[in-house]
């Protein structure tokens, strides 16, 4: 029998491997079920909460739809005609006749339907187009419903999209041609392996699904990520300060200090040598420093936004100046780090502290009136719910923040891994960017509550004196420091039109640059890659037009990376081109604590076993 199957080219699964996989699945499932039952018995049963107000939003939607039955009937009729056209074209295709143009096609860049069978095989093409027709009509119906307030409309749009994305035929074994082929080829071994992967991820998440995006064992901090050599020269409860080893015989006199966000870890700016911003800046002759924020636990629950200013960004300025002997620095802040940087500038301005020579803002929001899709998660009910959770633990769990960001791009950051890991039964591919993306961080309760309420909910930062920190009324309009804002046109976290409004707040000379791509790729865009390009509007320097549309209408598109444009800008400032002999980290006023990347960045939540 075995000789016959071999002659026919049939490769049956190895019985020993199948038995091993089945045993692992059984053991994992039994352990997870037992732990789940024990935990539920201990915790008790709680009524499901709707902190985001999703149920109410869809009840409002239903009421509005029922109030206009004619429009709903018209939508259903239009969808019926689309299905009729699809059925007619599919029948012609099945019989080998040249069919009409597709009724529905995927958007450019939609990787769910990249397998050629989605187009060539009439059955899979029919399923694909059926789904796209339904998705289009459902979305159009929801988004065009009259009478909903803006925030409710935003909620129903967002969660309808999550529902539509979840039901894609690409997410199911029998309706995904690639999974179907693999299932036939492996006699279902892919699904068994996928179930094992699923249980492994639930196990790693302590009963909650934590989808693995990459093989974390393939990376080691300081070995193949965060590799730029340097030294930690200062640390306190909130951050470590890293100075990088010089790469040029002399360096610019003004040190360069980067304030990364503490929602993520700093090494997005130092993933690999070829795309590392800190490596590139040091290679251009900058004495580069970066803050590596601590991953906080309950002991830091009371650390506030004020602490992050006084003990964080301001303390970093103090230490860089003391270490180098300079009286001013060039600074840059990324996302939330940029929000803190501008707040620090306003604080220093009120104190007549002029130690910041220039400030650069990567995808930074200062005016939160248009927060994009993140606004779905940020209303009074949602923030109150988060505050309750944070009060119990002392911090916001990093996985909750990561899950929110992943939902903004669910097809790329959730469903593609569901298909790969659980349906195809494959292990995640080693990818440094996804290693960083899965390296989530916590938020101290006091700081995060202040940030959400004062920035997102009440939008006070843009108002002169809207917030007070350490007894100082924060007024961005009084900041006269030269500023460079770089935002990205496809940013889904800090929409560029929102960041543009913030760029108009300070009163000093301001340059706004719009990069290509999104929140990460548009910033981590080294010159050697020669990708994306950027828009500038030199006619508006120092006096930005009132609207982002006016800025873009008069802008010029430039090839290459904004990094070189920024370097020309910062070195053209008064005193910006002056140089000194290269500064070694161990030759300054501060003592070296340990080599870069330091110990703070190495603490990963997804490798910690919960008590």
Q: According to the model, what pLDDT value does residue 309 have?
A: 98
Instruction: Tell which residue, 439, 448, 445, 443, has the closest CA to residue 605.
Output: 439
* Domain residue limits, the chain: 54-106+113-169, 230-397+442-595
3-class secondary-structure state, position 558: strand
Q: Note if the bond before 548 is cis, omega within 30 degrees.
A: no
Q: What angle do CA 226, 231, 234 make, to 5 degrees?
A: 115
Instruction: Tell which residue, 66, 164, 48, 175, has the closest CA to residue 117.
Output: 175
Cβ atoms within 10 A of the Cβ of 49, count?
9
Please tell me the pTM assigned to this model.
0.87
φ/ψ of 482, rounded to 5, equals -55, 130
Catalytic residue among 156, 335, 386, 434: 335
H/E segment holding residue 342: helix 336-350
251-283: b or e for each residue (b if 16 or more CB lie within 10 Å)?
A: bbbbbbbbbbbbbbbbbbbbbbeebbbbbbbbb
Instruction: Tell which residue, 461, 491, 492, 453, has the closest CA to residue 477.
Output: 461
Q: According to the model, what pLDDT value does residue 99 have?
A: 62
Q: What is the pLDDT of residues 322-369, one digit of tens each?
A: 999 999 999 999 999 999 999 999 999 999 999 999 999 999 999 999
Beta pairing, strands 288-293 & 395-396: unpaired
What DSSP string runs through 344-403? HHHHHHHTT---EEEEEEES--S--S--GGGGGG-SHHHHHHHHHHHHHHSEE-HHHHHH
Q: What angle do CA 302, 290, 279 make, to 5 degrees?
A: 155
What contacts 191, CB < 8 A, 6 or more positions away?
173, 183, 423, 425
Top-confidence residue, 193 or 54: 193
Q: What is the pLDDT of residues 146-179, one digit of tens each?
A: 888 888 888 899 999 999 999 999 999 999 999 9
φ/ψ region of 153 (left if φ > 0, alpha if ψ in -120 to 50, else beta) reads alpha
Output the average pLDDT for the chain. 89
Q: According to the model, what pLDDT value does residue 20 have?
A: 62
Q: How far is CA 305 from CA 259, 451, 453, 468, in A?
A: 14, 7, 12, 11
What contacts 596, CB < 8 A, 6 or more positions away?
222, 226, 228, 229, 230, 231, 232, 242, 244
335 counts as catalytic = yes
Instruction: Tell which residue, 505, 529, 528, has the closest CA to residue 517.
Output: 529
Q: How far is CA 471 from CA 236, 356, 474, in A?
A: 23, 21, 9
Homologous superfamily (CATH) for 230-397+442-595? Alpha/Beta hydrolase fold, catalytic domain (3.40.50.1820)
* Percentage with pLDDT > 90 across the chain: 63
Instruction: Tell which residue, 202, 173, 191, 208, has the closest CA to residue 22.
Output: 191
Residue 497 pLDDT > 60, yes or no? yes
φ/ψ of 357, rounded to 5, equals -80, -35
Number of residues assigned to the chain? 611
Q: What is the pLDDT of residues 500-552, one digit of tens each?
A: 999 999 999 999 999 999 999 999 999 998 889 999 998 765 689 999 999 99
pLDDT band at 420; cut points 50, 70, 90: very high
Q: What is the pLDDT of residues 284-333, one digit of tens each?
A: 999 999 999 999 999 999 999 999 999 999 999 999 999 999 999 999 99
Cβ atoms within 10 A of the Cβ of 15, count?
8
Residue 378 pLDDT > 80, yes or no? yes
Most confident listed range (45-59, 103-117, 151-165, 494-508): 494-508
d(C-alpha 269, C-alpha 306), whole Å: 25
What contacts 365, CB < 8 A, 6 or more positions away?
335, 339, 371, 455, 494, 498, 499, 502
Q: What is the pLDDT of residues 78-97, one digit of tens each?
A: 888 988 888 888 887 777 77
d(C-alpha 144, C-alpha 133), whole Å: 16
């Amino acid at each position: 029998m075995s000789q016959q199957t071999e002659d026919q080219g049939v490769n049956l699964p190895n019985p020993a491997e199948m038995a091993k996989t089945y045993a692992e699945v059984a053991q994992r499932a039994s352990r997870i079920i037992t732990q789940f039952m024990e935990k539920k018995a201990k915790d008790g049963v709680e009524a499901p909460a709707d902190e985001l107000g999703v149920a109410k939003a869809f009840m409002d939607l239903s009421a509005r739809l029922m109030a206009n039955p004619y429009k709903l009937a018209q939508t259903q009729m239009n969808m019926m005609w689309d299905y009729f056209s699809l059925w007619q074209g599919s029948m012609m295709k099945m019989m080998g006749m040249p069919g009409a143009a597709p009724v529905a096609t995927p958007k450019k860049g939609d990787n769910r339907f990249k397998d050629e069978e989605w187009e060539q095989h009439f059955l899979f093409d029919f399923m694909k187009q059926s789904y796209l027709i339904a998705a289009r009509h459902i979305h159009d119906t929801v988004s065009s419903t009259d009478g909903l307030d803006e925030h409710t409309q935003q909620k129903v749009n967002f969660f309808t999209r999550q529902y539509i994305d979840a039901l894609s035929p690409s997410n199911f074994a029998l309706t995904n041609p690639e999974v179907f082929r693999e299932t036939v080829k492996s006699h279902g071994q892919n699904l068994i392996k996928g179930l094992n992967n699923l249980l492994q991820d639930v196990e790693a998440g302590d009963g909650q699904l934590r989808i693995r995006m990459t093989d974390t064992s393939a990376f080691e901090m300081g070995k193949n990520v965060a590799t730029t050599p340097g030294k930690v020269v200062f640390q306190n409860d909130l951050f470590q300060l890293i100075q990088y080893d010089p790469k040029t015989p002399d360096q610019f006199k003004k040190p360069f200090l980067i304030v990364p966000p503490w929602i993520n870890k700093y090494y997005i700016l130092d993933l690999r040598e070829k795309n590392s911003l800190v490596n590139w800046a040091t290679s251009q002759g900058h004495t580069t420093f970066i803050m590596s924020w601590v991953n906080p636990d309950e002991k830091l629950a009371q650390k506030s936004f004020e602490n992050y200013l006084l003990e964080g960004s301001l303390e970093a300025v103090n230490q860089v100046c003391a270490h180098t002997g300079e009286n001013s620095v060039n600074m840059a802040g990324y996302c939330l780090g940029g929000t803190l940087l501008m707040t620090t500038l306003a604080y220093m301005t009120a104190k007549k502290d002029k130690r910041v020579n220039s400030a650069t803002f990567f995808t930074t929001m200062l005016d939160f009136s248009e927060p994009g899709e993140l606004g779905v998660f940020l209303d009074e009910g949602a923030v109150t719910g988060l505050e309750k959770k944070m009060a119990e633990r002392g911090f916001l769990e990093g996985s909750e923040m990561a899950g929110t960001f992943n939902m903004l791009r669910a097809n790329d950051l959730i469903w593609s891994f569901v298909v790969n890991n659980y349906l195809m039964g494959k292990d995640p591919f080693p990818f440094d960017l996804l290693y960083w993306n899965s390296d989530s961080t916590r938020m101290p309760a006091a700081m995060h509550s202040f940030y959400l309420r004062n920035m997102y909910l009440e939008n006070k930062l843009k108002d002169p004196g809207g917030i007070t920190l350490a007894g100082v009324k924060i007024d961005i309009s009084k900041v006269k420091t030269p500023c460079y804002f770089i935002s990205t046109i496809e940013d889904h976290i800090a929409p560029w039109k929102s960041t543009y409004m913030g760029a108009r707040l300070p009163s000093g000379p301001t340059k706004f640059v719009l990069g290509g791509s999104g929140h990460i790729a548009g910033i981590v865009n080294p010159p050697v890659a020669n990708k994306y390009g950027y828009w500038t509007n030199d006619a508006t320097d120092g006096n930005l037009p009132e609207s982002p549309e006016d800025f873009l209408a008069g802008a010029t598109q430039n090839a290459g990376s904004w990094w070189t444009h920024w370097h020309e800008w910062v070195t053209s400032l008064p005193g910006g081109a002056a140089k000194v002999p290269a500064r070694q980290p161990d030759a300054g006023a501060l003592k070296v604590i340990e080599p870069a990347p330091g110990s703070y960045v190495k603490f990963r939540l997804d490798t910690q076993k919960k008590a």
